[in-house]
Structures are given as structure tokens and as C-alpha cells.
Amino acid sequence: MKKSLVIFIAVFVGVITFLPFLWMISASVMPSGAANTFPPRIFPNKFDFSHYTTLFTRLNLTKYLLNSMIISFGVTLFSLLLNSMAGYAFAKFRFAKKKGLFKFLLSSLIIPAQVTMLPLFLILKNLGLINTYWAIFIPGMASIFGIFLIRQYAFSIPDSLIEAAKMDGATEMQIYLRVILPLCKPILVTLGLFTFMGTWNDFLWPLIVMTDANMYTMPVALANLMSEHVQDTELMMAGSVITIIPVLVVFLALQKYYIKGIMMGSVKG
Amino acid sequence: MAEVKLVDVSKIYEEKNKAVSSFSLEIKDKEFVVLVGPSGCGKSTTLRMIAGLEDISEGEIFIDGRKVNNVPPKDRDIAMVFQNYALYPHMSVYENMAFGLKLRKFSKSEINERVSYAAKILDIEYLLERKPKQLSGGQRQRVAVGRAIVRKPKVFLFDEPLSNLDAKLRVQMRSEIARLHKRLQTTIVYVTHDQVEAMTMGDRIVVMKEGIVQQVDTPLNLYNHPKNKFVAGFIGSPAMNFVEGKIVSEDGLKFVSSQGTLTFQLNPKQSEILSSYRDKKITVGIRPESFSAETKYESSVKTKLEFEEQMGNEVYLHFNVDGKSCIARMHPDVQYKIGDEINVGFNNFAVLFFDNAAGERIC
Ligand SMILES: Nc1ncnc2c1ncn2[C@@H]1O[C@H](COP(=O)(O)OP(=O)(O)O)[C@@H](O)[C@H]1O
Ligand SMILES: [Mg+2]
């Protein structure tokens, strides 16, 4: 009795959550104007894929999709590399002022991102990096949260493992690449997923640093479309579907590891 | 293949606190040396300095005549087996053993040959494809040893390798490691807190306490001629009984315990050495196995049996001397009941005398 109630609520919430998503997909394949009829319909009575063709031909979405891909993969790779190195170092290396430095880094978490945006923009501008991928790569390279996450995880790796590798003849780099990274896989996947989704969906920062239309990312390009084609709901929905698909693919592909990562984190703290 | 020499080696972790002080030792080629002592006495620290995992604060370490103070672990040609085995969880048993060889750029066929050989000696051939988490404790232990021997290092270091195993497996691995030593003919430095392990495995034993070497000797010499009270009490199980008292002259010299429960006449040799200790406080040590139920000895102690531990092959009798519990180890057939007045004899030639202040053995 109790169980069926739980299931009912879960299904109900699931349906409610899924409904807008479903409508987005079905509206994207409705003929122009069909999405705005009253009463609203959930399923299209006629399939029309012309919006997708329009996006990729007339509106040149391929370029933006490519920009988003490069930026998201780039930021994810750079940040995984640097965060894992830093997190590992903070967890396992002995160096002067380690604790103080880490506390300093942590304390900078309380500064809201918006506060740093203007100075960051000015710095990048002076470096001549505005309207290049580096304007997004560089600020995304290291994240305090990522370092923290990996540090916590790396604590659970026994010192003797690292020492065994040293005795086995591994250099510091080999220890990092062949022992630490493989062992950190679950947390790296989790962090990578967060970073990828965050970067892909980010709107404000790309809007600020990518003033050239050729450098727009998907969300920025989409927002631009929206102001031009306010009435064309079906076209907007098709754009949204395209935006969501890569994130969805990445998430589903890594889901197995991702859940493992979260579970491990909770056990090993 | 290699000698290891430590000259006045010290380790200072934090200011003032010396984890190891002035450790000097020459380990001969092919020798099996055991470092033993209570937990926290600096055994692991010493071993880790030999391995290169810990900086040497003072002194020098030589391996095969080469000073290695500033040589990183990978260039010391040493292998170490850790207490928690430290197997790489993401690698199979084969990969665990091959890892060090791969890093050292051995050819595939050479790696294969060495791993197969080691797996064969250690009887773990059927485990090569498994991951460490699919192994039992004893099997992990073997893999850890295997990983050390494939590299054919000059020196093996073991840090309490058996302490995570159950008692039966420990005894089995003990003899296996001893056999392995015979077979491989390498220098071994072995750390343990278990004196039985030390006694049964070591060619020579280094007894440590609070970072200071107490005595370096063969197992038998440690047992028969301990340098001080600490070594005497640490080696042997059950531990040696200590009774405080003083030397008085009464028909020659005599030992009388503080409350008078234990008194005995000194033999001529003891009298000669202890004549200067007349009327001074002194501690005697009697091993549980020096006691006997038979009345062939002149010296004896009259006391009440508090309780007994029957082992089957022997029995431990607990009794009171001067309010302190003492143990005698006897033949299992002795017929005493708890609460009985008993008269346990002992050979006073087997009694050791210790200086009360310094704890040094006098004779
Ligand atoms: N990394 C360290 N930092 C500070 N003190 C340490 C460290 N490692 C060991 N010690 C101290 O050094 C002493 C000897 O430790 P250790 O060599 O591990 O003892 P054992 O192996 O004989 O049990 C202990 O008092 C211990 O607290
Ligand atoms: Mg130790």
C-alpha cells in the first residue's frame, strides 16, 4: 500500500518533469504555427522536419555546434588534467604552506563568479584573447571545487600504493598517470560530467567574451535566434533539441561511472 | 649480492623528537636481519630510510659500498613488501608483478619469464588474471612478495608483512619466507613487532626501543645473554619474570626480594660479580621455563597458585611474588590445584641480575 503510493508519486513527478521535455521534442517537428494553436496539443498531427534543415542550412547552426563542442571538450580536458594534478598534490605531497594555501583557495569560493567577470574580461582583453577559445578555456582550467573533490577522493588512496610505485621504479609523472589517474576514474568521470554540462549550458560568460557571431556557442546563438524569430516556436524548439542532445549522450554514456563516483564519494568521504 | 651499512643514522620528524637515534648496523650479504621492538620504536622509519622513502636526518646509509643518502628509491635496487600489501587495485596480479619490470623497460619475453617463475615459486600461477580484490589475504601477501622478487633486487625489505594474516597462515608464511630466503640468496631486512617471528626467522636480530638500538645479536644470544632488562623481557614468551630486591650477606651472599617472598643463595660466580652490590637494590630475572616442579634445585619459592593456563603440551602456572604476578612454564602433568601452596624450584644458574637504575644486565 505504502509502496504503491510512493510509486504513484514518483511516476506522477516523473511525468510532470518529462512533459515540457516531450513537448519540446514534439513541437520541434510540428509545422510552423502548429505549436501555438489553442487548445495546445502534445503530439504533432503532422511531422515536419523542415526546422532542423533550416537550422543547419540557413541559420548555420553547425558552426555554433562545433564551437560548443570544442569549448566544452577543451574545458573538460584541461580542467580534469589540472584539477587532478592539484587535488593529488594537495592530498599526497608534502610541501611548505600546503594547508594555508588550500584554505586560501577554499576561501575564494565565497566570492561570487559575477564579481570576477569584469576584471577577468579586462585581463583577457589585454591579452588579446577575446573572441578566441582561450577566453573560455583559461578561466575554466582550474576550479576550486574540482580540486577539492579530487583531493578528498585522493585521500582514500593509501600512501603505501604510491610508495610501492616508487619502489617499482616509477617517476612522479608515471605514478600520477599510471596509478593515481586510473584509481581516480570514478571521480574524474563525475567531475568531467559536471564540467562538460556546466560549460555546454553556460550562457553568460560566452556571451561576454564571444562578441563575434562566428564564435557563438549554442546557447548564445539560440538566444540570438530567439530575439529574431520570436514567433517561430517550432524553430526554437528544434534548436533546443539540438542543444540538449550532446549533453544527453555524454550523460547516458557515462552514467554507469557517474553513479559509481557519487556512491564512492559518499562512502569514503 | 649486497651489503647494507648504516652509520649513525638518525631520523628527526619534528624538532627535538628523534624517531631513530644513531642507528649503526652492518648487514652482511645474504643475511636475514630482523628489526624488532614494540610499536612506535622506529622500526618502520629505519626501514623506510633504507628504502629511500624517508629522508635521512643524520648519518649515512651504504648499499654495496655506495652511499645512498641522496639516491631516490628507484635507483637503490631494493624491493619492499608493505604491511597492507599495497597492490595496485586496477591491475591484475600479472600486471602488478610486471609493473616494475615494464617501467624498467624489460622485454616482453623477459617479463613473462620472470613473472611466470615467481608465480611458480609462490604457487600463484592460477591467480595471474585476477584483480587484487578477488584475492584472500594470504594470496595478496604472496602477490606482494612476487612483485618484489621479479625484479631480483639486491635487498628485500619487509615491513610487518604477516601482521594482517590469521595466526595459522602467519606461521605458514613465516616458514615460506624463510625458505624463499634460502632459495633466492638475497639480503633481507625484516621488520616485525612479534618476537616469535623475529626469533624464528632472523639470522641476527636488532632489538629497538624508543628509537634506540638495544642489542644486535643472534636469536640464541639474545635469549641467553640479553644486554638489559628490556631485551630480556621482550624476548621469550611468556615474558621473563622480574623481582626486585637486594643482595645481603648471610652465610655468603643472598638475594632477598623486597617483601621477602623470594630468597636464594648466590652461586660462587654470582657472588664474585655481585659482591660490590651488597645492600644495594637489584632486580633479578627468571624465565618461566627455568622453574620446575621437581625438587632437584636448591633454590625455590613457596607461594600460592593463583591460576593456571593449560596448553596441552605445557602449563603456565601463575603465582604471586611480592604482590607481583609471576609465571612458571611446566610440564602439563603437574598436579596442582588453584589455591594450593606450591613450592616451585628453579636453577639459580639461570637467574639474571639487572642493575636497578640503568636496567643493564650485571650477570
Ligand atoms: N610521518 C611521520 N611524522 C611524524 N612522526 C612520525 C612519522 N612517522 C612516524 N613517526 C613517529 O616516529 C616514531 C617511530 O615510528 P615508526 O617507525 O612507524 O615505528 P614502528 O614501525 O616501530 O612502529 C613514532 O613515535 C611515530 O609517531
Ligand atoms: Mg611500523
CA separation for the pair B37, B210 (Å, rounded):
9
CA separation for the pair B193, A136 (Å, rounded):
57
Is the four-CA dihedral A49, A52, A53, A59 of positive or negative sign?
A: positive
Between strands B4-14 and B17-27, the pairing is antiparallel
Going through B28-151 in order, the beta strands assigned E by DSSP cover 32-36, 58-63, 66-67, 78-81
Backbone φ and ψ of B62, nearest 5° = -120, 135
- Contact of A192 with A68, CB cutoff 8 Å: no
**Count of pairs with CB atoms under 8 A, one residue in A, one in B:** 56
Nearest CA to ligand 1 atom 12: B19
Q: How many CB atoms lie within 10 A of CB B312?
A: 6
- Give the cell for residue B143: 602477490
pLDDT in tens, A64-96: 999 999 999 999 999 999 999 999 999 999 899
CA of B19 to the centre of ligand 2 (A): 11
CA separation for the pair A113, A25 (Å, rounded):
33
- Give the cell for residue A165: 610505485
Q: How many CB atoms lie within 10 A of CB A101?
A: 12
Q: What is the pLDDT of residue A15?
A: 92
Residues from chain B contacting residue A164 (CB–CB below 8 Å)? 80, 82, 86-88, 147
Query: Nearest C-alpha of chain B: how many angstroms from A84?
Result: 18
User: In sequence order, what are the beta bridge partners of B315?
Assistant: B310, B330
Under an 8 A CB cutoff, do A166 and B72 touch?
A: yes
User: In sequence order, what are the beta bridge partners of B10?
Assistant: B58
Going through B193-298 in order, the beta strands assigned E by DSSP cover 204-209, 212-217, 241-249, 253-257, 263-265, 281-286, 291-292
pLDDT in tens, A10-28: 999 999 999 988 889 988 8
Is the four-CA dihedral A23, A25, A26, A31 of positive or negative sign?
A: positive
In order along its 363 residues, chain B shows pLDDT tens digits of 689 999 999 999 987 789 999 999 999 999 999 999 999 999 999 999 999 999 999 999 999 999 999 999 999 999 999 999 999 999 999 999 999 999 999 999 999 999 999 999 999 999 999 999 999 989 999 999 999 999 999 999 999 999 888 989 899 999 999 999 999 999 999 999 999 999 999 999 999 999 999 999 999 999 999 999 999 999 998 999 999 999 998 888 899 999 888 889 888 888 888 888 888 889 999 999 999 887 677 788 888 889 889 999 999 999 999 888 999 999 888 878 888 888 888 988 889 999 988 889 998
- Contact of A235 with A229, CB cutoff 8 Å: yes
Residues from chain A contacting residue B104 (CB–CB below 8 Å)? 169
CA separation for the pair A25, A238 (Å, rounded):
7
Query: Nearest C-alpha of chain A: how many angstroms from B198?
Result: 23
Under an 8 A CB cutoff, do B99 and A183 touch?
A: no
Identify which of B45, B191, B193 to mutate to test ligand 1's pocket (most ligand atoms within 8 A of the CB): B45
Type of residue numbered B105: K
Query: Nearest C-alpha of chain B: how many angstroms from A174?
Result: 9
Asked if A254 reaches chain B (Cβ–Cβ under 8 Å), the answer is no
> Mutation test of the interface with chain B: which of A167, A171, A260, choosing the one with the most B Cβ atoms within 10 A?
A167
Asked if A89 reaches chain B (Cβ–Cβ under 8 Å), the answer is no
What interface predicted TM-score (ipTM) does this complex get?
Answer: 0.86
CA of B42 to the centre of ligand 1 (A): 6
Does A54 have pLDDT greater than 70? yes
Neighbouring residues of B302: CB distance < 8 A, sequence distance ≥ 6: B261, B341, B342, B343
Q: Which ligand is nearest to the CA of B206?
A: 1
CA separation for the pair B163, B178 (Å, rounded):
16
Could you say which DSSP state residue B278 is in? B
CA separation for the pair A36, A28 (Å, rounded):
12
Domains and CATH numbers, chain A: 1-48 (no CATH), 49-266 (1.10.3720.10)
Neighbouring residues of A86: CB distance < 8 A, sequence distance ≥ 6: A142, A147, A150, A151
Mean pLDDT across chain A, nearest whole number?
88
Q: What is the pLDDT of residue B111?
A: 96
> Mutation test of the interface with chain A: which of B96, B99, B163, choosing the one with the most A Cβ atoms within 10 A?
B99
Q: How many CB atoms lie within 10 A of CB A130?
A: 18
Reported as a pLDDT band with limits 50, 70 and 90, residue A265 is: very low
Q: What is the mean pLDDT of residues A128-149?
A: 93
For the purposes of burial, counting CB atoms within 10 Å of the CB of A48, is it exposed (0-12), middle (13-18) or buried (19 or more)? middle
Q: What is the pLDDT of residue A174?
A: 96
Q: What is the pLDDT of residue A130?
A: 93
Q: What is the mean pLDDT of residues A191-213?
A: 92
CA separation for the pair A42, A24 (Å, rounded):
9
Pocket of ligand 1 (CB under 6 A): B 13-14, 19, 37, 39-45
Asked if B191 reaches chain A (Cβ–Cβ under 8 Å), the answer is no
Which chain A residue is nearest to residue B74, measuring alpha carbons?
A169
Under an 8 A CB cutoff, do A166 and B89 touch?
A: no
CA separation for the pair B211, B200 (Å, rounded):
23
Q: What is the mean pLDDT of residues A190-213?
A: 92
Q: What is the pLDDT of residue A210?
A: 92
CA of B43 to the centre of ligand 2 (A): 6
CA-based nearest residue to B41, from B285, B283, B234, B242: B234
Q: What is the CA radius of gyration of chain B?
A: 25
CA separation for the pair B265, B194 (Å, rounded):
35
CA separation for the pair B139, B83 (Å, rounded):
14
CA separation for the pair A29, A51 (Å, rounded):
7
Q: What is the pLDDT of residue A261?
A: 57
CA separation for the pair A50, A53 (Å, rounded):
5
Query: Nearest 5 degrees, angle CA B190-CA B29-CA B100?
Result: 60
For the purposes of burial, counting CB atoms within 10 Å of the CB of B332, is it exposed (0-12), middle (13-18) or buried (19 or more)? exposed
Under an 8 A CB cutoff, do A183 and B147 touch?
A: no
Reported as a pLDDT band with limits 50, 70 and 90, residue A267 is: very low
CA of B13 to the centre of ligand 2 (A): 15
Does A180 have pLDDT greater than 60? yes
User: In sequence order, what are the beta bridge partners of B1?
Assistant: none
Q: What is the share, in percent, of chain A residues with pLDDT greater than 90?
A: 57
